[in-house]
Structure 1
C-alpha cells in the first residue's frame, strides 16, 4: 500500500507539473516578455557606440585669395568623444534595464504556475462533486426500489417514492449545473495552456489532506521575484545617475580641415598652390547644467519611491502568506470535521436500514440523513480544494 500511495502521489504531482511546464512553454505573455528581454539585452550593444562622425564639404563661390593661391573648396571631418567612462556607464544602465526585464519573466512564470495550479484544483473539486452527486443518485435509486418493495408489504406509501424521485431530480439538476461549470473552467484551463483545441483535462481521482500541518520552510522573502524586481529597478536608477554624472562632464572633439588651394598662374615660388591641413580640437562644456542637477534630484526621488513600493509589496506578500497558512489550517480542520460527520451519518443510515427489518421505514428520516451526508461530502471536497488553493499561494510566495 505504501508503494501504491507513493507511486500514485508522484504520478498525480507529475500530471500537474506537466501542465505547468506546458503552459509556461506556450504562454503568449511569457513569449512577449522574453522578446522584450532580448530587445533590452540588445540595447547593451547599442550603448557601446560613439557619437556620429561629422563630415562637411564646401565650395568657395567667392574664392578667398591667399599668398599661395585661391581657396577652391573645403573638407572637414570631426569626431566628438564622450568623457572617460561614459560608454561604460551607458552599458551598465542598459544591462540593469535588461536585468529588470528578466525578472518580469520569472514573475510571469510564477503567476502562470499559480493560475494553472488553482484552476486545476477547482476542476478537481467540480469533478469530485459530480462524482459524489452521482453516488447519491444511485443510492436514491436503491432507496426507491426499497420503497417500492415496502409499499407491497404496507411499510411505505407512494408519497415516499415521490419524495425520493423529487430528491433525485434535485441532485440531477445540481450535477448538470456543475457539469456546465466544469466545461467553462476547462476552457479557461486550455487557454492557460494555449491549446488551440479544447482537450479534456486529466485530474486526480481523489485527494486527501494530511492529518498534521506540514513543516513549512519559508525562504527569505527578499529573494522573491516580486521584491527582487524593485532591487533591479533601484539598481537601474543608480546606473542612470552614474550615466547622468558622466554626461555632465565635458566632451572632447577631434577633427581636421582640408582646404584645396589653386596655384597662382605665371608665378613660381615655394608652396605655390599648397593645400591647407588644419588639425582641430574642440571641447563641449556643460556650463548651464541645471538639467543634470534636476535629473539627479529626480533619480533620488525615484529611489525613494521604489523603496516605498518594495516595503508595500513585502507587507502584502507577508500578509497574504500568513492568511494562506491560516486558511490552509482551517481547511484541514474542516476536512477532518466533515470526515467525522460523514462517519456518523453512515452509522445513522445503517441504524435506519436495520429498523426496516422489524418496523416501518421512515423514508423522510432516510432523506434527511442522506441530505446531511451529501452536505458533509460536498463540504469535505470544498475543504480539499481550499487546502490546495492555499498551498499554491504559499508555494508562490515562499518557494
Structure 2
C-alpha cells in the first residue's frame, strides 16, 4: 500500500508539472504572439471609436459684404455675419456611443477566440514534440538492444550456433533504426521551429518537454452545456446586440435635427436724419429644424437590420451544430485513444515476455535470430503505437478544452 501511494503521488506530481509547464508556454505565447497583439490593437481602435462618435455637426460661420449697400429706414446695411449650429435629436449621441461600445465588445470576443486557438495550437505542437522526443528515446533503446543481440549473434557465430546472415540481418535492422532516428531528429527540429514561432521567440530555443506522460484512469467530465460559453458562440450574441444598438441609432437618426443660429448686420447711420434707431445694428436669432420627410433610407436600414439578425441567428445555430460535432468527435477520438493505449500496453507486455523467453533460450543454446528480429520489430511497433495513443489522447483533450472550458 505504501508503494502504491508513492506511485500515485508521483503520477499526480508529474501530471501537475506537465500542466504547469504547458500553461507557462501558453501564457508566453499569448503575451508575445503578434496575431494576439494585432487583435488587441483592433480592440483598442474599436474602443477609441467610442470617443470618435461623440461629435456634433460642424459649426457654420459665414460673412458677407454688400458691394451695393441696401438702404433701410435706419441706415445702409454694410455686411452680414452669421453663425449656426445643427444639433441631433435627443439621445442620438448616446446611441452612437452604445453602438460603438457594442462593436468594441465584439472585437474583445475575437481576442478570446484567438487566444483559445493559439492555446490549442501550442498544446498540439507541445504534444507532437513529446511524441517525437519519446520516440527518439525508444529508438535509442531499440538500437542498444539490437547491439546486444548482435554481440550475442557474433558469439553464437564463433561456436557455430548462428550464421553470418543472422549477423547481417541484425546490422541491417540497426541501420534502419538509425535512419529512422535521424529522421525523427529532423522532425523534432521542424516542430521546435513551429512551436517557437507560436511563442514568437528564437526558432532555435530549446523546448522543455516532459518525458513521462500517462493516460489518467478516469476521464474528466465533459459538459455539452459549456459549449454555450464558447467565445465562437458568444461572438454571435455580441453581433446580435450590436445590430440592436445599430437599429436604435437608426431610429434616432431618422428623427428631426434642430439648428440654432445668429445673424448680425452692421448698419451705417443716416446723415440726413436724426432719430433714436439711426444706425442701429441688426441682431437676428434663428432656429431651424431638419425633417427627414423622405425617409426611405431609414426604413431600408431597419429592414436590413432585421434580416441581419435573422442571418446571425442562423449562423449561430450552424456554428453550434459544428461545435457539437467537433466535441462529439473529440470525445470519440479520446475514448478510442484510451482503448488503443490499453491494447498496446497489453501487447507490449506480451512482446517483452516473448523477449525474455528468447533470452532464456539463448542460455540453453537454442536461439533463432529471425525470432529475435520479429519480436524486436513487434516491441518497437507497440512502443510507437503506445506513444501515438498518449499523444492522441492529450491532443483530443486539448480540443475538448478549447470547446468547453
TM-score range (shorter-chain normalised) is over 0.9
In 2, Cα distance between equivalents of 1:109 and 1:319: 22
Shift of 1:219: 4.4
Unaligned ranges ≥5, structure 1 = none
1:155 corresponds, among 157, 161, 164, to 161
- Structure 1 runs, 4 residues or longer, greater than 6 Å off: none
TM-score (norm 2): 0.96
Shift of 1:12: 1.8
Q: Which residue of 2 aligns with 1:376?
A: 382
Shift of 1:46: 1.7
1:217-232, aligned counterparts within 5 Å?
A: 217-232=223-238
1:48 touches 1:90 (CA, 8 Å); kept in 2? yes
Q: Which residue of 1 aligns with 2:394?
A: 388
Give the superposed CA RMSD: 1.1
In 2, Cα distance between equivalents of 1:4 and 1:392: 23
Unaligned ranges ≥5, structure 2 = 1-5
In 2, Cα distance between equivalents of 1:126 and 1:381: 9
Q: Which residue of 1 aligns with 2:335?
A: 329
1:305 corresponds, among 305, 308, 311, to 311
In 2, Cα distance between equivalents of 1:183 and 1:219: 40
In 2, Cα distance between equivalents of 1:89 and 1:64: 47
Q: Which residue of 1 aligns with 2:351?
A: 345
1:25 corresponds, among 8, 21, 31, to 31
1:197-276, aligned counterparts within 5 Å?
A: 197-276=203-282
In 2, Cα distance between equivalents of 1:338 and 1:220: 33
2:224 touches 2:324 (CA, 8 Å); kept in 1? no
In 1, Cα distance between equivalents of 2:272 and 2:398: 97
- SS of structure 1 residue aligned to 2:331: helix
1:105 is the counterpart of 2:119: no
TM-score (norm 1): 0.98
Shift of 1:267: 2.5
The answer to which of 355-364 and 199-208 deviates more is 355-364
- SS of structure 2 residue aligned to 1:283: strand
Question: How many residue pairs end up in the alignment?
Answer: 399
Shift of 1:359: 3.5
Q: Which residue of 2 aligns with 1:359?
A: 365
Q: Which residue of 2 aligns with 1:181?
A: 187
In 2, Cα distance between equivalents of 1:208 and 1:90: 55
